[in-house]
């Protein structure tokens, strides 16, 4: 059985049998990989520290056909401070679950891996940043990286250019903003500040200054992203 070294982040852990765990890893080059961590739940197991959510490092695995078993791990980052705050941990768990839903086995996921790493660093080490705004940035960049960047400059119906000062309505199904004249149905209203913030994030990422309307933004972006993934992320019910 050949061994491989995977640069990865643990997205999910599930207890298996009496002493084992199944780990779901996100890797830049192989996408999502499921790995068996044998004996990691023993008190003195050398794999215990690596078999937890949020852990990032170099995972050495043995491969037998399509099955992987963990043999060792050089942990580079555990994102431990996230675990000390229940709300930040919920925000982090939500991002992990989104990454798990988007990643596929055998498909390159470098952009997603880098985005998740950057987001967890902000969540973990930038205590002055609003954790929900970090999630909002993640959601918007996540959508762009996964091929459904929302249209934020022109009305999705009449193609009329919309000034940020006017604000707009966001159409989840059409994937973008629409003007007042074309708005119909239960659309979500975006203020001028919210619309400009979304445009700025797509250019400046985490360097974009935060705004106060974080809960409305989260609801818009959450519904949009989860609709494109065709799934509901369970931890979102604990946010915002």
Q: What is d(CA 7, CA 51) in angstroms, rounded to the nearest whole number? A: 14
CA distances (Å), origin 123, targets 70, 81, 111, 133, 173 = 28, 9, 18, 10, 30
pLDDT, one tens digit per residue, over 88-111 is 999 999 999 999 999 999 999 999
Q: Is the pLDDT reported for residue 67 higher than 60? A: yes
**Per-residue confidence at 213, pLDDT binned at 50, 70, 90?**
confident
Q: Which of 200, 194, 193, 149 minimizes the C-alpha distance to 175?
A: 149
pLDDT, one tens digit per residue, over 110-159 is 999 999 999 999 999 999 999 999 999 999 999 999 999 999 999 999 99
Q: Is the pLDDT reported for residue 1 higher than 70? A: no
**pLDDT score, position 118:** 98
**pLDDT score, position 79:** 97
- % of the chain beyond a pLDDT of 70: 100
**pLDDT score, position 212:** 87
Pairing of β 67-77 and β 31-37: parallel
Q: How far apart are the first and last CA of the chain?
A: 46
What does pLDDT average to over the chain?
95
Mean pLDDT within 211-240:
93
Mean pLDDT within 185-211:
94
Q: Which of 39, 42, 31 minimizes the C-alpha distance to 8?
A: 31
């Amino acid at each position: 059985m050949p061994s491989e070294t995977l640069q990865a982040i643990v997205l999910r852990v599930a207890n298996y049998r009496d002493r084992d765990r199944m780990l779901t890893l996100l890797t830049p080059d192989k996408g999502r990989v499921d790995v068996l961590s044998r004996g990691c739940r023993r008190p003195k197991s050398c794999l215990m520290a690596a078999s937890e959510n949020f852990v990032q490092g170099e995972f050495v695995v043995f491969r037998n056909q399509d099955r992987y078993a963990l043999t060792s791990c050089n942990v580079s980052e555990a994102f431990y401070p996230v675990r000390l705050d229940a709300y930040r941990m919920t925000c982090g768990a939500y991002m992990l679950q989104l990454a798990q839903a988007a990643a596929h086995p055998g498909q390159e996921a470098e952009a997603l891996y880098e985005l998740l790493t950057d987001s967890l660093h902000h969540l973990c080490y930038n205590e002055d940043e609003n954790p929900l705004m970090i999630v909002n940035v993640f959601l918007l960049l996540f959508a762009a990286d996964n091929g459904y960047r929302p249209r934020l400059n022109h009305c999705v119906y009449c193609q009329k250019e919309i000034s940020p000062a006017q604000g707009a309505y966001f159409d989840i199904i059409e994937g973008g903003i629409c003007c007042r004249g074309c708005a119909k149905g239960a659309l979500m209203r975006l203020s001028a500040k919210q619309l400009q913030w979304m445009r700025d994030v797509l250019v400046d990422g985490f360097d974009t200054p935060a705004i106060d309307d974080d809960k409305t933004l989260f609801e818009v972006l959450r519904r949009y992203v989860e609709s494109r993934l065709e799934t509901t992320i369970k931890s979102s019910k604990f946010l915002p």
